[in-house]
Structure 1
Amino acid sequence: MEVTLLSSITLIVLGLFAGAINTLAGGGSNLTLPALMIMGMPADIANASNRVGIFLQSLTGAIGFKKHNRLETTEIMPMMVPTLLGGIAGALTASYSPESLLKPMLLGVMIIMSLIMVIRPAMIVPDIGSIPLKVSESKKGWTGLVIAGFYGGFVQAGVGFILLAAVCGVLRYDLVRGNALKLVCTLAFTTMALIVFIARGQVDWIPALILSIGFIIGAHLSVKFAITAKSETLKQILLIMTLVGCGVALLF
């Protein structure tokens, strides 16, 4: 992929929006993955390079939520086991899939996930006053985290919705704390995915790092917004991001 001033600015702007979307909801990679492929990256390289920004965005967001005491640290390790198991399997599947199959698979999965979120957005919004469950208390929550990890390791785009479905919809965390835990889970399986992709030489580092600048800025700004916004506002944003993600996935 040729890196020019215009493409660099485009990547930073897209990364900013994607980082904000991923921190508050999910589906930011519905913007960045198609853009990388349109700019000339093969599907496997785009899928791998996008993870650099996701890693740094998740790290930035998780640290931000932790500083504001919105991260439930006691549940981090119990969530890591199912998430990492799924993530490793998903990353290996993506890395070894033929490029001719990977692009339609990536875009197809993005469209399906976006449509599900439009049709059933209520599945990731817990009732007000719900008492969160521990991962050890919920087989559905454990299974949901494995599925989210696999999907995140495989394609990433839209995985935030699956994680919110598991963390908020099943384990009953509110959207702020759910988003914080979502970012930690994303950081975990993205680390595993990056190890696989780097080992196989599938990361195009220059555009990946340029894109990461936007991801980091978007995550930083969104954490500040999330901790002050009303619950109803976050729900409305979640629905809007779902519609945007669906539209972009269908467009590309």
Structure 2
Amino acid sequence: MEQTMYELTLVNVTALLLAGVVAGFINTLAGGGSMLTLPALMLMGMPADVANATNRVGVVMQSLTGMQGFYREKRLEAPAMMAVVIPTLLGSLVGALAAAFLPEGVLKPVLLGSMVLMALVMIIKPSTVAPEPGTPVIPLHSKPSAWAGLFLAGVYGGFVQAGVGFMLIAALAGGLRYDLVRANALKVVCTACFSLLALGVFVWYDLVLWVPGMILAVGCMIGAHYSVRFAIQASQATLKWLLFVMVVLACGAAMLDSVG
């Protein structure tokens, strides 16, 4: 990588830490945290591709922290981990290969359409995405449409990553009927797998700036730690509305990006 200049001032470090804390919190509960961390990295002077690569350091570390927290609280469905990871990883491989030939803008309308649909469903019939307490979980092998949903989420995640958390929640909570706490626990497992693969690719191409990446990761880990604690204590109604707010905000950000 050519020498990339960036400013590591006290203000930038503080902003990066705070952005990481907020992003780690909302990514563990919903998604969309990169709306904060990517601009924070780019404001330091990084080009978009380097910021995108460096951002994955924080995503990996927050995901691992979230996994540990949900496992400690006995909310991570360990027997289901392999089942949900397989289709998402297969999809991410397809998405990563597609990214080598297609521009990123090809799938942006897919993300925007999916988030708008998810927001409408949560208004009209919220139980579709946020199951009522006590709803039985549907095994993945008995619902091919859920397998397809996880695969497509993987394709999108392998292609561009941003916003994939919403698609994973739709597949896990909407398709397999996990409550939002357990859906988020499995979501961070999938996200960790996506991000480790992506980070490996970015490291291979020497696009990661480790110092700002680790500063961001510290904030993301703090946010993820407290996010798990909040998720365990909060009601399903609170988690549902938090998810809805994040979906709406992400829709707005995607629309502004499209206009720009």
- Is 33-42 or 135-144 further displaced after alignment? 33-42
Q: Which sections of structure 2, spanning at least 5 residues, go unmatched?
A: none
1:183 Cα deviation after fit: 0.6
1:180 corresponds to 2:185 = yes
Deviation at 1:87?
1.9
Q: How many angstroms does 1:231 deviate by?
A: 1.0
Deviation at 1:164, TM superposition (A): 0.4
Tell whether the 8 Å contact from 1:57 to 1:216 is kept in structure 2 after alignment.
yes
- The residue that corresponds to 1:233 in the other structure is 238
Q: Deviations over 1:104-130 (max 9, x none)?
A: 568766655543443333452224432
Distance verdict in 2 for CA 1:39–1:114, change over 3 Å: farther
Query: Which of 221, 227, 235 is equivalent to 1:222?
Result: 227
Q: Structure 1 regions of 5+ residues with no counterpart?
A: none
| 1:247 paired residue number | 252
Query: Partner residue of 1:37?
Result: 42
Contact 1:47/1:155, CA 8 A, preserved across alignment: no
Q: Does structure 2 conserve the Cα–Cα contact (< 8 Å) formed by 1:111 and 1:250? A: yes
**Aligned 8 A contact 2:168 2:187 in 1:** yes
Who is 1:213 aligned against? 218
- Alpha-carbon contact 2:150-2:168 (below 8 Å) kept: yes
The secondary structure found in structure 2 opposite 1:120 is helix
With over 3 angstroms needed to count, the CA separation of the structure-2 counterparts of 1:105 and 1:38, relative to structure 1, is farther
Aligned length: 248
How high is the TM-score relative to the length of structure 1? 0.89
Structure 1 residue 154 corresponds to structure 2 residue 159: yes
Distance between the aligned counterparts of 1:92 and 1:52, measured in 2?
21
Moved more, 79-88 or 65-74: 79-88
- Structure 2 residue 71 is matched with structure 1 residue 66: yes
SS of corresponding position for 2:93: helix
Give the Cα separation in 1 of the matches to 2:96 and 2:209: 17
> Structure 1 stretch 175-184 or stretch 144-153: which is displaced more?
144-153
What corresponds to 1:119 in structure 2?
Answer: 120
| Alignment counterpart, residue 18 of structure 2, candidates 13, 16, 23 | 13
- Given candidates 131, 137, 140, the residue that maps to 1:132 is 137
TM-score using structure 2 length: 0.86
Alpha-carbon distance between aligned partners in 2 of 1:208 and 1:232, rounded to the nearest angstrom: 34
CA distance in 1, matches of 2:79, 2:189: 12
Residue 147 (structure 2) pairs with residue 142 (structure 1): yes
Separation (CA, whole Å) in 1 of partners of 2:95 and 2:211: 25
CA contact (8 A) 1:25 1:179 kept: yes
Query: How far 1:197 sits from its partner (Å)?
Result: 1.6
- SS at 1:202's partner residue? coil
| Pairing of 1:69-88 with structure 2 (within 5 A) | 69-88=74-93
Asked if structure 2 preserves the Cα contact closer than 8 Å seen for 1:133 and 1:171, the reply is: yes
RMSD of the TM alignment (CA)? 2.2
1:229, distance to aligned residue in structure 2 (A)? 0.8
1:196 alignment partner AA: V
Q: Deviations over 1:187-240 (max 9, x none)?
A: 111111111221122222222111111111110001001001111111111112
Deviates more, 1:64-73 or 1:5-14: 5-14
| Percent identity of paired positions between Structure 1 and Structure 2 | 50
SS for the counterpart of 1:85 is helix
